[in-house]
Amino acid sequence: MGKLIALEINSFKSWSGRHTIQFGDSYFTSVIGPNGSGKSNTMDAISFVLGIKSSHLRSTHLKDLIYRGRVLKQSKINADGTAVDDDGDEEGDANSDAEAGADDEEAETQTSTQRSDPQSAWVMALYEDDAGEEQHWKRSITATGQSEYRINNRVVSAKQYNEALEAENILIKARNFLVFQGDVESIANQNPRDLTRLIEQISGSLEYKAEYERLKAEKEKADEEQAYKLHQRRGINGEIKQYQQQKEELDRFTTTEEERDQAIVTHVLWKLFHFQRTIEDSAADIQKHQEELKEFRRNVQKYEDRLEEARREQTKVGKEVSKYEREIKRKEKAVEEKENALVPVDEKLDLTRKKVTAAASHLEERRKEYEEQKRLCQKHQNDLNTVEKSRQRWEDEWRAQQQQAGRELSEQDMQEYQRLQGEVYKRTGNDQTKLDNITRQLKTDEETVNSLKSKVESTEAQLNSLAGEVASLTERRNELNQTVKSTTKEIDAKKKAINALTSERERTNQKHRELDEKLAEVLRKLYDAADQQRASHKEANQRETVAQMKRIFPGVRGMVHQLCRPKQKKYEAAVVTALGRHWDSVVVDSEKAAKDCMAYLKDQRVGQMTFIPLDTIIHKQPNANLRGLHQGVRLAIDTIEFDTNVERAMSFACGNTIVTDSLKIARNLSYERNVDAKAVALDGTVIHKGGNMTGGAEPNDKKRRFEETEVENLRQLAEKFKADIDALPRGHKRQAEEEQLQSE
């Protein structure tokens, strides 16, 4: 924003000659002072140099603004500093008269003391712009009463002068750069309309009011025409698009018919090929099963032969068991007889044992006596030895004495010695005899006892041998019986296992065939569904793009056809047609989400999409009167199921479209009863509001989109059948188990 630095005035109004007024560095300048000090003339000078007309400067002509000489009067100074002429008038009145301009009477009454008046005047403003550069704006009043404009001492036209001022945001017409005395109070007392007018005047927009009103009317008219033309264009584009779609649908229908015929031929050939292969495989399987049956029969015969052989073996073993039982009975009888025969032997044994016991007791007594006699004998022997030693010692001593004395034993002495020795033998001989007898008797008794013990031990060993033989035979008989029973049970168990394995194998084969048939049927349905549900590359990209936006932006709900489904299968074609161009529109929560999605589409360059923001979409309730028009008529929105959160979007997409049970009802409503609504028949035929009719087959893929759940169920069912088939036992394992059982 620039500022006014100074003002140079030459012969303007009350200023005679050239004067300079400095304003300082302030951007806001106030002109203040007492009455008659020249405030108004200063404001007029500023207004004049800035291009204000003379009518706003309290003058009729520009010449009135040129300084005129005044009559010199005698004045006196009052105590308050004011000058008063001789007549008592204040200087301020004189100045006010001078500022208002002298009239013709004053000109006639001027005295000769008045100087000659100047013929021109000018005011120059020294202005500093935003860049700090000083500009000189000068406006002069020529002798002819015309204005001359100069900028930096360069003569310019009034228009150029005003444009230069406007470039500095100084609007002459608006007078937005000066506030005169009393303007604030006057503005404060204005009503809103006048205040608005003043603001428009100050801003400079008032001069464009008429043009604005004219242009506004033209704009409204152009908007109406543009809306009408746009509506017409949309209708024409819609019809063109519809015709193009119909043409594409016709071409696609023709191509699809050809593909269908070719597919039918291929499918029939495929069926024939598979039937032929199935027949061949079945014939091979039948031949294989017949051979397996023969093998099974041979195996059964072999097992029957084994069973017969086992039975013969069982009979043979039974005979042997009977033989062993008879032998056991015979042995038992013999044992019993021997036991009976052994009764006297037992008695004898008991008697012998008693005798042995008695003999043992007697032997013990004799042994004791023997020990006693042996002790006595030992004692006597010791005594005898002592005596003998004494005798020998005496004899030796005696012989020594005799030898020393020269004497020897006489015959008489020897006889006495022998007599005494014989007496000794006589006294101990009886005891020696008794001892020898007792020793011999003891040896005899010991031999008898040993003999009896040997007999008893032999008899007991024989009894034990017979008892062991009987126990062995009994145990063998029991073992044979147990072996026969276990063999019989094992044979029965093997037969049951073979029968169970055979039944299980047959049941498994039957289950395998059933699952194969079911899997083939499901795969055939999936193949047909895949033919019917092939979507275009563009539609696949659209679905993928919407899925990406749903992951990125939380306010994305999905496409319209993904958020609704027909209540009944018969409404599919009608719903597809009723939704029309909104079929692939994307429903979002807010306008912001829609803008974010559009920015994403633009950044990714993936094409265009239509968005339906739930917060700003114009939601009009369907016309309830359309529900009761006919028994076979219902609103399109009543034929679909959807979440209540997207009701506004569905209402917007369906509008007042009605669905009729037949084309006849639709014609009656549109042509005869003039119902203002788009009518769609169940076969997809449309009668628009304008009366034009559209018909033909809708693409199968749009109809089939409602069956994606069914296709997914078929896929899951196929996976289940495959898992069940894989879970079934393998046939070769069962066959190996059967062969193993048969070999056993």
Regarding whether 227 and 124 lie in a shared domain, the answer is no
Classify residue 97: in a domain, yes or no: no
Regarding whether 310 and 162 lie in a shared domain, the answer is no
Classify residue 698: in a domain, yes or no: yes
Using the predicted structure, report yes or no on whether residue 500 has a pLDDT greater than 80: no
For tokens 């004998």, what's the residue? 377
Classify residue 130: in a domain, yes or no: yes
For tokens 């009987």, what's the residue? 470
Classify residue 646: in a domain, yes or no: yes
Q: What are the DSSP calls for 650-709, one per residue?
A: HHHHHTT-EEESSHHHHHIIIIIS--SS-EEETTS-EE-TTS-EE-SPPPHHHHHGGGHH
pLDDT (average), residues 181-207: 78
Q: In sequence order, which residues have a C-beta less than 8 Å from that of residue 539 and are 6 or more positions away?
A: 584, 701
Regarding whether 285 and 235 lie in a shared domain, the answer is yes
pLDDT attached to residue 195:
83
pLDDT attached to residue 613:
92
Using the predicted structure, report yes or no on whether residue 98 has a pLDDT greater than 50: no
pLDDT attached to residue 114:
45
CA distance 507 to 498: 14
- Per-residue confidence band for 222, with pLDDT thresholds at 50, 70 and 90: very high
Across 104-113, 264-273, 564-573, least confident range: 104-113
Regarding whether 130 and 56 lie in a shared domain, the answer is yes
Q: What are the DSSP calls for 85-116, one per residue?
A: ETTS-BHHHHHHHHHH---HHHHHH--TTSPP
Classify residue 632: in a domain, yes or no: yes
Number of domains in the chain: 3
Question: Which has more pLDDT, 577 or 458?
Answer: 577
Regarding whether 151 and 46 lie in a shared domain, the answer is yes
Structural domain that includes position 695: 553-706
Using the predicted structure, report yes or no on whether residue 303 has a pLDDT greater than 50: yes
Using the predicted structure, report yes or no on whether residue 134 has a pLDDT greater than 60: yes
Using the predicted structure, report yes or no on whether residue 96 has a pLDDT greater than 50: no
pLDDT (average), residues 235-259: 87
Question: Which has more pLDDT, 743 or 281?
Answer: 281
Across 31-45, 415-429, 564-578, least confident range: 415-429
pLDDT attached to residue 94:
35
Regarding whether 137 and 27 lie in a shared domain, the answer is yes
Task: Label residue 623 left, alpha or beta by phi (over 0 means left) and psi (-120 to 50 means alpha).
Answer: beta
- Per-residue confidence band for 396, with pLDDT thresholds at 50, 70 and 90: confident
Across 249-253, 477-481, 517-521, 736-740, least confident range: 736-740
Contact 45, 59 (CB under 8 A): no
CA distance 602 to 604: 6
| Token representation of residue 284 | 């091979």
Question: Which has more pLDDT, 337 or 664?
Answer: 664
Question: Which has more pLDDT, 375 or 664?
Answer: 664
Question: Which has more pLDDT, 367 or 152?
Answer: 152
Regarding whether 313 and 237 lie in a shared domain, the answer is yes
Percent of the chain with pLDDT over 70: 74
- Phi/psi at 497 (5° precision): -65, -40
Using the predicted structure, report yes or no on whether residue 474 has a pLDDT greater than 90: no
- Per-residue confidence band for 403, with pLDDT thresholds at 50, 70 and 90: low
Give the SS3 label for residue 643: coil
Classify residue 78: in a domain, yes or no: no
pLDDT (average), residues 672-688: 87
Which CATH number covers residue 61?
3.40.50.300
Using the predicted structure, report yes or no on whether residue 143 has a pLDDT greater than 70: yes
Which CATH number covers residue 667?
3.30.70.1620
Classify residue 151: in a domain, yes or no: yes
According to DSSP, the residues that pair with 566 across neighbouring strands are 640
Q: Which of 341, 362, 387 is the last residue of a domain?
A: 341
pLDDT attached to residue 8:
92
Regarding whether 557 and 674 lie in a shared domain, the answer is yes
Where are the strands (E) in 228-386, listed by range? Answer: none
Tell me the pLDDT of the chain averaged across its residues: 76
Regarding whether 151 and 17 lie in a shared domain, the answer is yes
pLDDT (average), residues 468-480: 71
Q: Which of 341, 364, 394 is the last residue of a domain?
A: 341
pLDDT attached to residue 75:
43
Give the SS3 label for residue 556: strand
Q: Which of 324, 341, 358 is the last residue of a domain?
A: 341
Across 67-76, 409-418, 605-614, 672-681, least confident range: 67-76
Winning range, highest mean pLDDT, from 57-66, 197-206, 640-649: 640-649
Using the predicted structure, report yes or no on whether residue 220 has a pLDDT greater than 70: yes
Percent of the chain with pLDDT over 90: 7
Question: Which has more pLDDT, 720 or 493?
Answer: 720
pLDDT attached to residue 14:
85
Classify residue 370: in a domain, yes or no: no
pLDDT (average), residues 483-487: 73
Using the predicted structure, report yes or no on whether residue 160 has a pLDDT greater than 50: yes
CA distance 75 to 83: 6
pLDDT (average), residues 247-251: 88
pLDDT attached to residue 586:
92
Give the SS3 label for residue 12: strand
Regarding whether 14 and 162 lie in a shared domain, the answer is yes
Using the predicted structure, report yes or no on whether residue 704 has a pLDDT greater than 50: no
Q: Sign of torsion, CA 341 344 350 356?
A: negative
Using the predicted structure, report yes or no on whether residue 703 has a pLDDT greater than 50: no
